[in-house]
Structure 1
Amino acid sequence: MKELELLAPAGSLKTLKAVIHAGADAVYLGGSMFGARAYANNFNEEELLEAIRFGHIHGRKIILAVNTLLKEYELGQLYDYLRPYYEAGVDAVIVQDMGVMEFIKTHFPNLPIHTSTQMTITNVEGARLLKEQGVERVVTAREMSLEEIQRIHDEVGVELESFIHGALCYCYSGQCLFSSIIGGRSGNRGRCAQPCRLSYEVLQGEKSLTGHHATPILSLKDMCTLPFLYELADHGVYSFKIEGRMKTPEYAAGVVSIYRKYMDSYLDGSRIPVEKKDIRALLELGNRGGFTNGYYYHHNDSDMLSGESASHNKSEGVLQDNIRREYVDTELKEKIKGKLILNKECPAKIEVQYGKIKVSYQGDMVLVAQNRPLTKEVVTEKITKTGNTPFVFENLEVTMDDDIFMPVNQLNQLRRGALEALEEALLKPYERTLPELVETSSAETDRQTTGNAIKEKQISGQSLSQTSGQQSAGSSTEVRVLIEDAEQLPAVLKADFVDTVYLDCMLYTRENLIHKLSEDIDRVHASGKKVFYVFPFIFRQQTSLFYEKIMPELKKLPLNGIMVRSLDEIAFIKEWGNENWQMVSDSNLYTYSNEAAEYFYRLGMIQDTIPVELNRKEILRRENSRSEMIIYGRLPLMITAQCIHKNMLGCMHQHKVLNLKDRYSVHFPVKNFCSECYNVIYNSLPVCLFKEDVTVKKIAPAAVRLSFTTETEEETEQILTIYGDIYKNGGILGQMPMECTNGHFKRGVE
């Protein structure tokens, strides 16, 4: 029977010790920086080093989460941050940022990398790409089915880690900007404010679908997979991950102990049926509106919603007291064996053994007793008094002369020395040494030099909103327009300043894609513009199979290029696409740093899109000469497998726009994209940076983009006319047809 890993969360040293005591094979945790739970207690350096030592002494793995997106200047801090943990033998790191991944591969070559669920890997192609690049483990998107996981296991052979218990995000992890845009607290930076747990009214036009009252329509129940744990193992999951780095030690240890029971049953082949009392215990430890089995058997399901019980329910009682007594307030000890030899006028000798590790320690000279000789009982008592060490003597064999004497402090030192030597021997195999040639200062200097060079670019010209009759900054950069609705296209084709048109896949159905796309390509080319096809936000197994089937026809179309939005798509295009296509990556393939951008360039991107969470100062610190910048558009806040339209009205396989109305009466448009079965929740206001001409000049992107999502034909034409007047004539910014926002351009995120 194959080995499996039960992976537990820990937000504190106390929790870490408790979950290891309860049976966790590995523990994931966050340090003082770069972890996706910035509001957990987390571990300072001393605590984290102690955690690594504790885990390794007890034969468990410690996995460090470095799974936030890092800004350009922060990469310079990463080396010094990781070095002590690397040298102490931390077993792996979890990463989201591709720049971080490349940095670790370069500077910490023997450190295993696990990709975060924030990377949104949903398919064989993406998993295979990451494995080829040295990733040891892929953490699957929570939305994946058992069938999709099985396929990756069978075709890629990479270690797979999947969530089995705890809170569920409403959005595909890594594809959420909701908390970031409305509150400045970015989930990509570990600071999610959980707006999905709030209540919203759902509107269809003026009609309320929730009876004119708000409901937690975005809040999901907690996941519990205990009833089908064996099926997960059968389908290729290696590491079984429990969510909860912000939970109590009692919660974490209790959940671990119950799952441990059934994992052991799977491993020994008995596969005992799940007992109802264990499900009740899990519910008592904590739940949000009950439990759901997640997405393993369903693409989406209204039964997954928490209903009015959006808060986390838990109770204090006998169960928690028992867990506290058994795992939290007691110490875990490893059983050891010992041999002690005390011969008069010879050095005291002791040998201790744990598993296959055996060490010897020599103490002071054994004396001849003058009055009261030592007894075997006294010697045994002193030597087996292991105190706060991680060991306990299972057996101690004592060989000693009858008429001997040693002071108690020497016996204590003999014990301490032996146990310290054993601990050192246990930890030694984990320790690493970094090559001397790795230097942080030069790397940091290079980054600062690059950032300063960009920052100091001087480009003449005045603000778009202030100049008149003078050509704007946009005239020296390519102008691109993305559309999601067919009625927007005529206005775009009339705008002679537009160089490239992005035709979003949302414009088409699977049935009419080739035919309609071909017609639209011809129309765009007839207007003298280039045309790119925009792939979906999510590229699941069925989507991959569909595109694989139509790819021969798609490659024949006279596209100038494509836009990709996931690693799955990049890998797919590299395998199946047209080698002449130019590839551009969208803003959700995050390039906070130059290193991250370089990663995508090496994969074949001609350009990336500047992340929308960076502010103007941070954008100026990165190299933008190969980047596109969104200067207008309603930003997607969430990409979700759940369908609000289906959950409210049933599935009709038709594109509709609903609205979420929050407690401040702000409306967030929601589109259901039926071909790929996901929803897009957009911001209430579009970003508009038309007034920021001076800064955009300094940023000097290769291209600027206007994205049209929910705009009508009239609104599209108005906005293009306003921008066109500025672009062509340096005119004053006209009255926009709707209220707009600067997004993060000025404020950014922490």
Structure 2
Amino acid sequence: MVELLAPAGSREALVAAVENGANAIYLAGNAFGARAYASNFDREALREAIHFAHLRKVAIHVTVNTIVTDEEMEPLRDYLRFLYEAGADAVLVQDLGVARVAHETVPDLPLHASTQMSVSSLEGVRALAELGFTRVVLARELSLKEIRHICAHAPVEIETFMHGALCVCYSGQCLMSSMIGGRSGNRGRCAQPCRLPYTLVDEKGQDVLGDKAGSYLLSPRDLSTIDVIPDLIEAGVSSLKIEGRMKRPEYVATVVRTYREAIDTYYAGKGYAVTQEERDDLAQIFNRDFTTAYLEGRPGKAMMSDRRPNNRGLLIGRVTAYDWDARIVTVKLSGRLGLGDQVDFWVKVGGRVTATISALTDAKGRAVEEGQAGDTVSFAIPSAVRDHDRVFKVYDARLMERAKETYASGAPVRRIPVAIAVRAAVGEPLTVTLCDADGHRGEGRTDFIGESARKRPLSEEIIRKQVSRLGTSVYEMKSLHCDIAGEVMVPMSEINEARRKAVEALDALRLKEIEAREHRPEPKFTDRIARPTPKKADFLVAVDTLGKAEAALAAGADGILFGGESYEHRVIAPEEYERAWQMAREAGARIDFNTPRIVHDGQQKHVERLLAAFDAFPPDAVHVHNIAMLALVRRLTDFAIHADYSLISYNKQTLAFLKDYGVSGATLSPELTAKEIRQLAKESPLPLTCIVHGRLELMVSNYCVTGSFLGGCGEGPCTQPCTRGHFALKDRKDALFPLAMDQFCHMHVLNSKVLSMMPHAMKFRAAGIETMQIEAKAMGEKEIAAIVKAYRKAMAFPEEPAEAQLSWIHEQEGKDITRGHYFRGVL
């Protein structure tokens, strides 16, 4: 049976998930989890959570899925040892350095690859399996067909999301929160800039959508797979995951209960069906409207909640009248509304009006507790509304109370039935035995030796009354067998104590069973192929056209990084790679070839054909951006491999992993500070590169805003407006974030500011950095030539440039620039 995996950001949410039928829970401690703003669990609470869940045969997966600094490595080791000893069933990780430390520190603790690893192909799954991972959480951008293919050939368990909030960016690939606000999603502190308003503008800065769309162009709807649960199960998925560690326990309770019923209905084999009440419950508890994301195709704008980025609730009626003097609204209901509920009116002017129902009258003016669909009701609201305004219920008091009952009483809701046997005889201790359905037997004996009864001998009725009092334990009596030899007396307190011992003994047996672990597969790190060492280069200029490559080389670049994605939405042919190779060789420059940041199974053949073609014009190195491409290039070629920045080299452990895996160089994460970079460089086992100039990619997305709202994507073939002009997203502060659409129809959101470290160009080599990388795909040829020449000149300046030299540098780099995280770091 498929695992139902639920989130828990608090003790209450944990209980809610378990009591409503989750098979496993994922949660985090107070560090290293990708939801740092959830309540989370300290160590004592983690131990208690694991004990609570394991008694009920529910697994606990702990998220350790942030990127980690070198200073955090020792606390991380200690934390991993604690998790292993406390009985955690698995840890989820994103950072390859964290995976390496986990292998060394707790070799038998199962490793799950977080969705933050952006695994979108079977190649990535197989690579992680070879590294000792026992489960992979797939990227949320995959279709059912792709998931089915991966599950059919995967050597490990596959986990997919089935409900909750969606990221518009491939998870683990987002720098937007980090670059805009200094709060890193990769460090668990995403500020969700995707939920803010943006305007789509053309090259002239003109709004190209107007009222055709809302303002929340990067805000997806929430994922709901309630209608495709059979498809996901039949695809071979091992675990279905609910997103929501930041959500309240009532949300967890409701969503888990609904999907538990759906999954059980499927396995019952009596025909899969979802009731309207179940749909309404899912929508009522929280929704931004729902989507199946990419499971059934590419939905375009139908995937987006562009009119509202937060909970919209459930439509339950429209305004039919408003009394301006009394401020009483009359509503014709299309759904239930009761006392304690909260509603939002979507008014035509001024946004929305919110009211909590404290009193309710029907069409005849009589006080009522609730109204049903078809009824007309009236109640007070604080602000004016108009006829036909829509009314949404955003808080359902009855639903919330129902959810709360499953976690707030302190007593178990889902109990484990046990058969109880009691034996009592004169001259013997009384014995209580509890037996569960799995054959576990817990026994407790009295210290008291049974005596002949003088007045009231033990009877089955007396024993039943005492042993059925299982209180807050997880058990309930389903049957009782009493073996009473003669007229015997045992004090009630002694019977109670024997019952308590039996409960403890059964607890211990159930805990022992679930905490037994299989040995984790040994990772295969070492690369056996002798790979060449790339020639050194001061500057590596990343370009996607031959004209840009020629401009960079003519200006003095001693390295070109060519290809990968095209910012001009066109396929880069093998002949272009060959011509770039020839140009670099003629200039005596290093030539590296790039691969795409995101590759699905359907796109991998294209990459494989390119790699095969490269044999005729071998690059100095091939750059890879994800674990799948790293494994593919390692498997199919003997080229030098360079781990580019989106593979996230953030600590020495990751660099050591990459070295063992056969990588010859790495571009450091742009979220590192200059101080952290210097420290890393001192002990790095690999030559290092830093990005010093250009518009950094803040997001890479399978959703395209121009194709969705201008090109008809999702309604038919996209008309590709991206080939007829350039577009940008404008935020509330009028900052412009240019958009680039590549040959795979991925949208790349670029930073509004250009990263420039030109005033510090002369310091990188002394800091131990071999190569400076210029991201030039978004630049014109003249700009590339000017920037390369400027960096060449700046490198010759002293580490503390003279005032005139600094003035010249500032003139060259322009005004709209940023130093990124080199000096401010991230939270």
Give the 5 Å matches for 1:196-595: 196-206=194-204, 207-211=206-210, 215-288=215-288, 290-313=289-312, 314-326=394-406, 328-329=408-409, 331=412, 332-355=414-437, 356-364=439-447, 365-401=449-485, 403-431=487-515, 478-496=538-556, 498-506=558-566, 513-576=573-636, 578-579=637-638, 581-595=639-653
| Cα shift at 1:195 | 0.4
Question: What's the CA shift string for 1:19-54, capped at 9, x where partnerless?
Answer: 211111111111111111111111111221111111
Q: Tell whether the 8 Å contact from 1:492 to 1:720 is kept in structure 2 after alignment.
A: yes
Secondary structure class of the residue paired with 2:17: helix
Question: What is residue 709 of structure 1 aligned with on the other side?
Answer: 777
Give the 5 Å matches for 1:122-137: 122-137=120-135
Equivalent position to 2:691, from 630, 653, 672: 630
Q: Tell whether the 8 Å contact from 1:645 to 1:672 is kept in structure 2 after alignment.
A: no
User: Structure 2 unaligned runs (5+)?
Assistant: 313-393, 520-535, 712-717
Equivalent position to 2:758, from 678, 690, 696: 690
| Residues 494 and 694 of structure 1, relative CA distance in 2, 3 Å threshold | closer
Q: Which moved more, 1:395-404 or 1:103-112?
A: 395-404
Q: Tell whether the 8 Å contact from 2:737 to 2:752 is kept in structure 1 after alignment.
A: yes
Question: What is residue 661 of structure 2 aligned with on the other side?
Answer: 603
Question: What's the CA shift string for 1:684-729, capped at 9, x where partnerless?
Answer: 1122222235763553112221221322223222222221112245
Q: Which moved more, 1:622-631 or 1:89-98?
A: 622-631
* CA RMSD after TM alignment: 2.4
Equivalent position to 1:662, from 717, 731, 741: 731
Question: What's the CA shift string for 1:641-665, capped at 9, x where partnerless?
Answer: 0112212321344555311111111
Question: What's the CA shift string for 1:503-539, capped at 9, x where partnerless?
Answer: 4441687655112222222122211112111111101
Question: What is residue 148 of structure 1 aligned with on the other side?
Answer: 146
| Cα shift at 1:301 | 1.2
Q: Which moved more, 1:625-634 or 1:367-376?
A: 367-376
| Residues 432 and 86 of structure 1, relative CA distance in 2, 3 Å threshold | farther
Q: Tell whether the 8 Å contact from 1:477 to 1:701 is kept in structure 2 after alignment.
A: no
CA distance in 2, matches of 1:507, 1:214: 26
User: Structure 1 unaligned runs (5+)?
Assistant: 436-475
| Cα shift at 1:490 | 3.3
Secondary structure class of the residue paired with 1:700: coil
Runs ≥4 residues deviating over 6 A: 432-435, 507-510
| Cα shift at 1:409 | 2.5
Equivalent position to 1:619, from 673, 677, 686: 677
CA distance in 1, matches of 2:726, 2:114: 32
Which residue identity is paired with 1:366?
G
CA distance in 2, matches of 1:487, 1:648: 32
Give the 5 Å matches for 1:24-63: 24-63=22-61
1:737 correspondence with 2:795: no
Question: What is residue 83 of structure 2 aligned with on the other side?
Answer: 85
Equivalent position to 2:111, from 110, 113, 118: 113
Which residue identity is paired with 2:68?
L
| TM-score, with length taken from structure 1 | 0.89
Which residue identity is paired with 1:413?
E
| Cα shift at 1:568 | 1.4
| Cα shift at 1:431 | 4.4
CA distance in 2, matches of 1:46, 1:234: 39
CA distance in 2, matches of 1:647, 1:668: 18
Q: Tell whether the 8 Å contact from 2:61 to 2:89 is kept in structure 1 after alignment.
A: yes
| Cα shift at 1:294 | 0.8
Question: What's the CA shift string for 1:242-292, capped at 9, x where partnerless?
Answer: 11111122211111111112211222333322333322221112101x111
CA distance in 1, matches of 2:814, 2:778: 13
| Cα shift at 1:191 | 0.8
Question: What is residue 329 of structure 2 aligned with on the other side?
Answer: none
Question: What is residue 181 of structure 2 aligned with on the other side?
Answer: 183
Question: What is residue 527 of structure 2 aligned with on the other side?
Answer: none
Secondary structure class of the residue paired with 1:388: coil
Equivalent position to 1:679, from 747, 763, 766: 747
CA distance in 1, matches of 2:246, 2:192: 14
| Cα shift at 1:552 | 3.1
Which residue identity is paired with 1:682?
L
| Residues 198 and 268 of structure 1, relative CA distance in 2, 3 Å threshold | same
Q: Tell whether the 8 Å contact from 2:169 to 2:702 is kept in structure 1 after alignment.
A: yes
Q: Tell whether the 8 Å contact from 2:692 to 2:755 is kept in structure 1 after alignment.
A: yes
Which residue identity is paired with 2:242?
I
Question: What is residue 445 of structure 1 aligned with on the other side?
Answer: none
Question: What's the CA shift string for 1:559-595, capped at 9, x where partnerless?
Answer: 222111111111221233x31x221111110121111
CA distance in 2, matches of 1:511, 1:670: 18
| Cα shift at 1:111 | 1.2
Q: Which moved more, 1:410-419 or 1:114-123?
A: 410-419
Q: How many residues align?
A: 705
| Residues 516 and 698 of structure 1, relative CA distance in 2, 3 Å threshold | closer
Q: Which moved more, 1:254-263 or 1:375-384?
A: 375-384
- Identity among equivalent positions (%) equals 32
Secondary structure class of the residue paired with 2:615: helix
CA distance in 1, matches of 2:632, 2:266: 35
Which residue identity is paired with 2:123?
E
Q: Tell whether the 8 Å contact from 2:678 to 2:768 is kept in structure 1 after alignment.
A: no
Equivalent position to 1:70, from 68, 74, 77: 68
Secondary structure class of the residue paired with 1:199: coil
Secondary structure class of the residue paired with 1:266: helix
Secondary structure class of the residue paired with 1:162: strand
| Residues 657 and 738 of structure 1, relative CA distance in 2, 3 Å threshold | farther
| Residues 508 and 687 of structure 1, relative CA distance in 2, 3 Å threshold | closer
CA distance in 2, matches of 1:548, 1:533: 13
Question: What is residue 3 of structure 2 aligned with on the other side?
Answer: 5
| Cα shift at 1:118 | 0.5
Q: Tell whether the 8 Å contact from 1:715 to 1:737 is kept in structure 2 after alignment.
A: no
| Cα shift at 1:328 | 4.9
| Cα shift at 1:429 | 3.1
Question: What's the CA shift string for 1:626-649, capped at 9, x where partnerless?
Answer: 211112121110000011221232
Question: What is residue 707 of structure 2 aligned with on the other side?
Answer: 646
Which residue identity is paired with 1:701?
I
Normalized per residue, which structure has more helix? 1
CA distance in 1, matches of 2:661, 2:726: 35
